[in-house]
Every structure is written in structure tokens, then in C-alpha cells.
Amino acid sequence: MVISSVLFARLYSPEDFGALAYVSGFASIIAIVSGLRFDYIAFSKKEEEKHLFNVLTLFLMFLVHLIFIFFVIISNIFSDLFSGKSYWLVFFSFSSSIFYLSTQLLVSIGNYKYFSRVRILQALLQLVFGFLFFYLNWSNGLIIAYSLSQLIIGLIVYKSYLQKFSNLKRYNLKECFLAEYKQASYNTIIVLIQYATPFAPILLGQYLFESKEVGAFYLISSAVASPMSILRRSLLNLFNGEVTSVQKARNLMTNFKNKNIILIGLIFSFITCVLFLFFYSEDVVRLFFGTQWLRYSYYIVPLFVVFFLDMIFQPFTTLLPLWGKQKYSMFFECLRFLLVYLIVPIVAYLMSFSYFSFFNLYFLATTSVYILIILKVYRLIYPPKNKIV
């Protein structure tokens, strides 16, 4: 993603990235939930059941997109809800869903070598299509490059497992659905709320601000977020593996307090990076994205701060459900969703905020919820004395 963003930034305009941001934001959310999370349930099943759940997921994805197409047709008759990009949105969503579910299939059955090759091939094909459509001067070439590469690779993966799928019986799929639909529905709602929240500046920004502003935000945030996501994944693995109970969390906190050098090093690294980006933001933008993006260099520092803090805070959100506090987890996720999709845009609209101010308000809202979650986690680790059993 980082490589393609850096290369395509020198070819395509901020408006092109704005259009890509809009369709990919919607499509990414739909791809995650279109299978109603039966792909996630497949991970915990026996080998012979995994293909049943993966086929069921694929069937549900087709059904969801048929409903989505009907909704798009109706919306185009009565309004311009999707800003003239409705059919590209459907195509991108379907392509993303096929690719995402195909990779989920490979991971669920443990075929990690094939999974790695598929990811690499999709990225290479995306680069080829991106350059090709630019030189052919195709309209929406960037959207086509991203979507077509995912569609082709996803179909190739499913074709390689077509024989195994054809041996499955229809009534077994029905039994799988009836046995797990309640858990799948619950997972879908949670994941929808969780995955929709980070896309709020992109999805809402298209309706309140200029597309080129959203495109610049999308490009720079994608480049900044990618290395942070690797570090965040490491922290998530640590939390999910070592902090499976309140007592383990208490022990980890005690060990951490005894190693102040880690905290000092983290703070020093953060301040050093912020100062470097503050003084050399234009040079960084010119180096990685080209001169046409210099006017948006002011995004570098706040985006770095946002994703750095997200890398630190986000793993704490996994502790509440891990410790059996699902109700608290759902409350905080719903609170954050309400803030970023209702309160923040209303305030931004009424106050005539710029897109940059809108993003900063969004950051303030999400950070506030993170702090509330951390406070709740801290109270669980160190409860008041009168509550200690």
C-alpha cells in the first residue's frame, strides 16, 4: 500500500485520490461485514467444516451485494447519495469483498505461503494497472487499478478451491447458518461499528468538504498508518497473549513500572519524530509524494501523532472483551461511533470548520473515548480498596 501510494502520488491528482478514498472507504467496511463474519467463525472450526463456512460466507457476500445494487439503483432515482460514484462503489466493493474473503479462506485453512504470494501478486498487479490506466488516460483509472487487481486475484484463489467447494451439500450450508447466525450477527454489528469509525473523516468528508482535501488526507494517512500498523499488531499480540486476565495485567504493569527506560525511550522517540516532521514536513512530502502535494504538508505532524497514539491506545480496547466485559466494550464502541458520525459532523457543519479542523475534532473525540477505556481498564486492574475481594 505504501509503495503504490508513493508511486501513484506522482501520477494522479488529489481529486483522483479523493474519489478512491470515497469508494474504498465504503468498500472496505462492506467487505468486512458482507459475509456476516461467518469467515471469522470458520477459524474456530474443524478442518472439514472450514470450507462449509467459507462457502456460506461467499454466498452471503453475493446476497448482500445484490441488495446493495438494488439500494444503489433506488438511491440514484431519488437522490445523489453516492455523489455520482455509485456504480464504481459497487464494483470496488464487490472486488474488495472477493479479495478479502479469499485471503480469509487461505488463513483459515492455514495456507500461509499461498496467502503471502496472493498479497504480493495483488500489489504488483495493482501497480501495473495503475501505470497502464494512467498512460491510457482512463477516467477513474486509480479506482479501476485497485478494484480490478483485487477481483482478478480473488477469483484465481477461489478457482483453485472450486473442486472442494463443489462437493459440499446445500443442506449442510443451511445447518451451518442456522447454528451460528446469532453469534455471526452480533460479531457483524461490533465489527461494523469498529471498522466504520476510522473511515469517518473520509466518508463524511466527501459530503462536507472538497474531494481533493479528502484525497490528500487519504494518501498521507495511508502512508503514515502502514508502519504504525505493524507495531500495533505486535502490541496486540502481546496484549492478547500475555494479558488474558486482570491478574496478568497487574503483573505486567508492575514489571513495566520497574523498567522506566522503556517509557523514557518511547517518549523520546515520539518527541524526536514530531520535531523532525514539524521542521521538515515539506521535505518529507516532496521526497515521498511530489511537489503537487506540498500544500498538504501540514497533515504530516497531526497524522503522525494520531496514529502513534492509536498504536498505543488501540490494544487496550481488546482487553475488555478478553476479560468478559463485553457490555462495557459495546458501550464504548457505540459512544465513539455516535461521536464521530453524529456529534462531530454536526459541530463541524454548524461551525463551518475546515477539513483540517474537522479532522482535529474527530481526533479529539476518538482520543477521549480511548482515555475512558484506559481508565476503565485501570480500575479493573487496580479496583478501589472497598471493592477488592
Evaluated on CA atoms 256, 258, 260, 265, the torsion sign reads negative
Q: Concatenated DSSP letters for 275-342?
A: HHHHHHHHHHHHHHT-GGGGGGGGGHHHHHHHHHHHHHHGGGGGHHHHTT-HHHHHHHHHHHHHIIII
pLDDT of residue 171: 53
Q: Which three cell numbers stand for residue 311?
A: 498504536
Residues of the chain with pLDDT > 70, as a percent, come to 89
- C-alpha 208/C-alpha 270 separation (Å) is 32
The residue with cell 519524530 is 273
pLDDT tens across 325-371, in order?
A: 878 888 998 999 999 999 999 999 999 999 999 999 999 999 999 99
- C-alpha 204/C-alpha 349 separation (Å) is 11
Averaged confidence pLDDT in the chain = 84
pLDDT interval class at 237 (50, 70, 90): low
The residue with cell 478451491 is 161
Higher pLDDT residue, 252 or 229?
229
pLDDT of residue 176: 78
Q: Which of 124-128, 163-167, 349-353 has the lowest mean pLDDT?
A: 163-167
Does residue 188 surpass a pLDDT of 50?
Answer: yes
- C-alpha 389/C-alpha 327 separation (Å) is 22
pLDDT tens across 48-99, in order?
A: 677 777 888 888 899 989 988 888 888 777 776 666 677 888 899 999 999 9
The CA angle 208-33-49, to the nearest 5 degrees, is 170
Higher pLDDT residue, 109 or 290?
290
pLDDT interval class at 162 (50, 70, 90): confident
pLDDT tens across 264-313, in order?
A: 888 888 999 999 999 999 999 999 999 999 999 999 999 999 999 888 88
User: What is the pTM assigned to this prediction?
Assistant: 0.84
pLDDT of residue 242: 60
CA atoms within 13 A on the CB side of 345: 18
Q: Which of 150-164, 231-245, 264-278 has the lowest mean pLDDT?
A: 231-245
pLDDT interval class at 389 (50, 70, 90): very low
